[in-house]
Amino acid sequence: MPEKPIDVDQYLEIGCGRCELGGTPDCKVRPWTKVLQSLRQVLLASGLTEEIKWSVPCYTHNGRNIVTVSALKECAALSFFRGAELADTEGVLEKPGENSRFARYLKFTSTKRVRSLRKVIARYVQEAIELEVTGKKAFVDDAMPKQPDELTEMFKSNPKFRGAFNALTPGRQRGYLLHFSSAKQSKTKTARIEKCVPKIFDGKGWNER
């Protein structure tokens, strides 16, 4: 049987130990080591306690599980246990699977993305800690914000754009709608929408690079 990690340093070296690839160049942790290390720094700076649970790095507060980091085949992931209860004002959280009720995660394929979302991660961590400490549930609006008229008009004139928007994750759609609607003047809303068109076609959130 492959060796399983006893701490995060060992996880970064040998992987999760769940398959025969652990400790080899083909282990899925290997391509994402730098990204995982970068995420680790952000989480430790947030005051969380580092442990190994389920053979992956798990970060806790007073014994309560807050978030894990792990390597997937196509990316590194930062997963919040109660992510569905976070407000996700930036529209970056995704469901790990169609039937996931509580967990939400962020995908990372570069340290640059970690740096760009460092403050967002720290803020979400503090919100997740508050959920555990107070038992209070964060505001979660399952209903999508109202679509501004300017966006509706652009959808009518550009069906491909509408299709690209509808293909976004609900969190990203919500983030864009909040971003567009927060502008007071119609021309500002239109300008924001036009500026975000390339990102929407790329499947990115409005604050993603």
In order of their start, the domains of the chain are 8-134 (3.30.1460), 149-201 (no CATH)
pLDDT at position 102:
87
d(C-alpha 67, C-alpha 81), whole Å: 6
Q: Mean pLDDT over residues 142-150, rounded?
A: 82
Helix (H) or strand (E) run with residue 104 in it? strand 104-108
Q: What is the pLDDT of residues 60-118, one digit of tens each?
A: 999 999 999 999 999 999 999 999 899 888 889 998 876 677 899 999 999 999 999 99
pLDDT at position 137:
66
Average pLDDT, the chain: 90
pLDDT band at 205 (very low <50, low <70, confident <90, very high): confident
What are the distances in angstroms from CA 190 to CA 31, 129, 151, 182, 186? 40, 37, 7, 12, 6
Percentage of the chain lying above the pLDDT 90 cut: 70
Looking at per-residue pLDDT, the higher value among 39 and 134 belongs to 39
Percentage of the chain lying above the pLDDT 70 cut: 95
